[in-house]
Structure 1
Amino acid sequence: MSRRSPLRPPKRLLLAAGLGLLAARRALATPYNLSGKRVLISGGSRGLGLALAREFTAHGARVVLMARSAAELGRAAADLRDRGATVHTVTGDLTVAADIERAVEETARVYGGLDVLANVAGLIQVGPLENMTEEDFREIMEINAFAPLRLTRAALPLLRASRGRVLIVSSIGGKVAVPHLAPYSFSKFAVTGLGQALRAELAREGVGVTTVHPWLMQTGSPRHALVKGQVKKEYTLFATLDNLPVLSLDTTVAARRIVNALVRGDAEAMIGGPALLMRYAQALAPQLTADLLALSNRFLPGPSTGDRAVPGASVETPLTQKNPIKQAAEAEFNEGGSVTPGREGPS
């Protein structure tokens, strides 16, 4: 015979009620109003960073763009000002602590504070694991994982004061590891964990954190990727998949969905139907997903004898050069200039 009092509800009922209250609170939460907000975007000069800057400013936000190239920043700023946006630029390298501090301080000086930090800049390396070195893994971790950590920590005093928001751009590669993108997935799994940790710890201080996981996007950025192995084959495959109609996402649409996820206050958001399908496949059938990915690797180019990385732009082929979607994306998102390998806006 149970000793539980008939007046005391079962623990499972209490848990269900608590979860229901949390869900109701979330559903009734007021969307975050971006009008007049001050937004710092790393990797904001081109690719997804530029697309997000357009979307933020379309909501009435004022933006600061940080990137390494002053020329690219100048073109991006002109693009945004032509659209009626308020924009300021900071030239700096995310691997340099003084540059990170300066970007945050400059945002506060120009706009009087900071409301949203968008961690967008990313490095991507393409090629077989056999051709990747430990240094490749360390280099990509610096940009894709440690840079968002350092920039967020530097910005936290301002974000606490404004009860602001943090956006972390991860990838479907941060949920499902993809062959020939081993260092990239390694770093994106790390930044996904960072986003979850920040979300849990900063909520009590009024700072919201949203981590997004985009599918392939037509950003025009493959030419900045670092390629190893049989470089022409690797790059042709990567650049083609990144710019296939239906399979890859329109970058403007992806940027809108990302900003909407931030406005709603989502903890995580999968951007694109294929990303959502891969997430559920990994969660519900991890063995099958692993087997299918292992099978797909059999059809990819094999390793080469050297470990030298080259920028994608140096191994263009007629097939990639004449791809109209790729050409349009490069022109639309400021990707057609001189190549600074890997950074300022992930694919």
Structure 2
Amino acid sequence: MSGWKAPVALVGARWALNKYRDRKRRPTPAERALDLAAWAGAGALLGVGASMVAENRRSERLNGRVAVVTGGTRGLGLQLAREFGAGGASVVVCGRSRDNLDQAVADLTGRGIDAHGVVCDVTDREQVRALIGETVERFGRLDIVVNNAGVMRVGPAEAMQDAHFTEAMDIMYRGPFNVAREALPHLRTTEGSLVNITSVGAYLTVPHLLPYSVAKHAWACLSEGLAAETGGTGVRVTTVVPGLMRTGSHRGVVFIGEPEREYAWFALLAGMPLLSTNADRAARRIATASARGQGFLVINPTTRIGMALHGLAPGTSQQLMRLTGRLLPSTPEHVSERTGNESGDSTMGRLAESVAALNERAVDRLNQDTRDRR
């Protein structure tokens, strides 16, 4: 009996038995407890069976497909490339650093994945055109494109320069725009998928992440607009809304103002299990949503709660964000700027890392430690 038929048959048998008992006599407390245990077991088996069916279908839908992942050299992008590759897809990853790109491709090919790397800055339309062209020339088709490339600076808005806002908009709005423009003609041919990794920051702006949130808001608007505009073309657009994820990204983030203090709160929150999501689980859910053609995906419950609160009571959520902003470090007289790898080399940073040990484990596994690279 296949993986999903056994649980269904068990549920049906329990239902018939309960109906028969109800006709004969009132069940005893022991029988009720037995029934409850049987239903719980059947539900668990049904869930496992459904998960197995979904996993098998995802593999079937990905087998032989070609996926492009921007920002695929580390973090969530690298894990997504692994996930698509594990499902049978050929994968093209792009990034701006050749060293990081070579390391990512070696990781993927070492897992038996047909992988290729292309140096590409998504803010440059010509480079994006070359990326898509090289992918189609090499593999003959294009089925999935994941807009994942991003940049994050953490610190008070007063400490940010105009160039930081421009950089964020270039990478996280114009970048996805360029990729979508070049990829959509090919995706129409294959009835493929465009996946946009936005953020809870696109819907609920968090203090000390203003350039990031502004750009992510524009990106989310672009994604939802493309989903509406491509109706009837065969292309499926998936808007993904992650919250905090344990990808080791705190090492690659740039911290501004008082870097050590900014690093401490960010690393601590990003590594807390109840607030953040494991990168492997997030990547699996995104790959499955892409294979199904799901239009909108919220990764974790805390993100869903935050979005719901802002939608139902925006004034309340705004007040909560104002309170949060008061608790975060203020702008110092002398503003400093350091990467996470540099900022974490302090007593406060090491303490935060020890508490958020789960996130630290993701650093090497997801290619985030850049201290020894150029």
TM-score by length of 2: 0.80
Matched, 1:87 2:125: no
Q: Structure 2 vs 1, CA of residues 44 and 339 (structure 1 numbering), >3 Å: closer, same or farther?
A: farther
State the secondary structure of the residue aligned to 1:71: helix
Structure 1, 290-299 or 312-321: larger mean CA deviation = 312-321
Q: C-alpha separation between the residues in 2 aligned to 1:144 and 1:112? A: 28
RMSD: 1.9
302, 305, 314: which one aligns with 1:274: 302
| Range with greater deviation from structure 2 (93-102 or 61-70) | 93-102
2:220 aligned with 1:188, yes or no? no
Work out the CA distance in 2 between the residues paired with 1:263 and 1:305: 50
Shift of 1:326: 3.1
Task: Supply the AA of the counterpart residue of 2:242.
Answer: P
Paired residue type of 1:110: R
Task: Give, as a single letter, the amino acid of the residue that structure 1 aligns with 2:89.
Answer: A
Of the structure 1 ranges 212-221 and 76-85, higher mean CA displacement relative to structure 2 is found in 76-85
Show CA shifts across 1:89-119 (max 9, x none). Answer: 1012222222211111110111012111100
Identify the residue that residue 364 of structure 2 maps to in structure 1. Answer: 331
State the alpha-carbon separation in 2 of the partners of residues 35 and 287 from structure 1. Answer: 47
Deviation at 1:44, TM superposition (A): 0.6
Higher relative contact order (CA closer than 8 Å, sequence separation 6+) = 1
Identity value in percent = 37
Structure with bigger helix share is 2
* CA contact 1:132–1:307 (8 Å) conserved in 2: no
Q: SS of the counterpart of 2:196? A: strand
The worse-fitting range, judged by mean Cα deviation, of 314-323 and 52-61 is 314-323
Structure whose alpha-carbon radius of gyration is higher: 2
- Cα offsets for 1:176-205 (capped at 9, x unmatched): 111111111101110000001100111222
Identify which of 124, 133, 140 aligns with 1:112: 140
SS at match of 2:127: helix
Gaps of 5+ in 2: 1-56
Matched, 1:143 2:181: no
- Aligned position for 2:202: 174
Q: Among 51, 73, 76, which residue is 2:79 paired with? A: 51
How many residues were matched structurally?
A: 312
8 Å CA contact retained: 2:74, 2:366: yes
Find the aligned partners of 1:272 and 1:212 in 2 and give their Cα distance: 11
Shift of 1:152: 1.1
What is the match of residue 351 of structure 2? 319
Change (3 A) 1:340 1:177: farther
Secondary structure of 2:146's match?
Answer: strand
Where 1:194 maps in the other structure, the secondary structure is helix
Distance 1:307 1:204, change over 3 A: farther
Q: Which runs of 5+ in 1 are unaligned?
A: 1-29, 342-347
Greater Cα offset, 312-321 or 77-86: 312-321
Normalising by structure 1, what TM-score? 0.86
